[in-house]
């Protein structure tokens, strides 16, 4: 995976990000979710690289990127802060405007980047997520049963202690499923106390400051200006929880298009061909 890509550590004003970048053509930034690192994108990045300049960082708090400073409101782990990292990272790599793709927790960062920096984002693709405020306002017994981890991870100290007691049991994955190199990277991240803290802080920010940012944007009538694509995993919970998730996204991105991918949750690993084709069509239009 990542054939011909460079691996760098880039110092930004608020964070230090580990990043792989390569390919040629219009720039696209790929953002991973929990509990993955940028390595989850390897098979998709290889398929996009002949036509696009592909950038894959570890988000702040994940993988080998720097970890957020403690703050009572968890602002260092807010999606707004991570979106600022994205804008600065891409500028450092010579990309003033770019497309952005985010999966799972990365989808919230991509969404926030498009709202906060509309002059920088040419296209937005959000995978397996709806805006945080929309998810929380629809929370019912089914949501609590399926996505209980949102609320457990928001508690102080206990999530880290539980995860680190047996990371393999918490995060089921195999090298056959992920690839050897990606699996080693994943195991290293989920066994490191500082990284587990950073990953859990992302959820603490989600229930507080991130929700407040979404509420303020909705009250102000802000919407996504650039072309938007929503893809979701057919064998995950999106349709069960929301029916057609495009109905939710149309409030935020009136011209959104999208469809389901025949996959479980980690679509970049489970269905890289189908996902890469969908992204190529959208990014190339």
Residues that are catalytic: 104, 265
Phi, psi (deg, nearest 5) at residue 198: -65, -40
The pair of structure tokens assigned to 191 is 């066994």
Q: Is 10 helix (H, G, I), strand (E, B) or coil?
A: strand
- Tell me which residue of 150, 151, 111 sits closest to 127, measured CA to CA: 111
Rounded to whole angstroms, how far apart are CA atoms 175 and 202?
Answer: 26
**Given the DSSP bridges, would you call strands 6-11 and 16-23 parallel, antiparallel or unpaired?**
antiparallel
In the chain the first and final C-alpha atoms are separated, in Å, by: 26
Give long-range contacts, CB 8 A cutoff, 24+ apart: 243-247.
245/130
Rg over alpha carbons for the chain, rounded to the nearest Å, is: 17
DSSP 8-state symbol, 64: T
Q: Is 113 helix (H, G, I), strand (E, B) or coil?
A: helix
Q: Can you say whether the dihedral through the CA atoms of 250, 132, 31, 267 is positive or negative?
A: negative
* Cβ–Cβ under 8 Å, residues 245 and 126: no
Q: Is 51 helix (H, G, I), strand (E, B) or coil?
A: coil
């Amino acid at each position: 995976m990542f054939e011909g890509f460079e691996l760098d550590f880039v110092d930004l004003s608020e964070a230090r990000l580990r990043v792989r970048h390569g390919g040629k053509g219009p720039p696209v930034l790929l953002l991973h979710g929990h509990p993955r690192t940028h390595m989850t994108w390897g098979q998709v990045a290889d398929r996009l690289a002949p036509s696009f300049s592909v950038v894959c960082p570890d988000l702040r708090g994940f993988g080998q990127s720097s970890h957020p400073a403690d703050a009572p409101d968890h602002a260092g782990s807010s999606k707004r802060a991570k979106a600022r990292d994205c804008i600065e990272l891409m500028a450092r790599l010579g990309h003033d405007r770019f497309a952005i793709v985010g999966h799972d927790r990365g989808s919230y960062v991509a969404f926030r980047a498009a709202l906060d920096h509309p002059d920088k984002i040419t296209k937005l693709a959000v995978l397996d997520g709806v805006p945080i405020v929309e998810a929380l306002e629809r929370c019912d017994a089914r949501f609590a049963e399926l996505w209980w981890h949102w609320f457990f991870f928001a508690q102080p100290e206990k999530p880290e202690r539980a995860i680190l007691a047996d990371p393999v049991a918490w995060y089921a994955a195999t090298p056959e499923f992920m690839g050897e190199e990606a699996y080693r990277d994943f195991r290293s991240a989920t066994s490191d106390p500082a990284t587990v803290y950073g990953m859990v802080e992302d959820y603490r920010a989600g229930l507080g400051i991130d929700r407040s940012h979404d509420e303020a944007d909705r009250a102000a009538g802000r919407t996504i200006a650039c072309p938007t694509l929503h893809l979701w995993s057919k064998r995950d919970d999106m349709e069960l929880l929301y029916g057609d998730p495009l109905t939710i996204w149309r409030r935020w991105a009136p011209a959104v298009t999208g469809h389901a991918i025949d996959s479980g949750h980690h679509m970049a690993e489970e269905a890289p061909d189908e996902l890469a084709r969908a992204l190529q069509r959208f990014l190339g239009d």
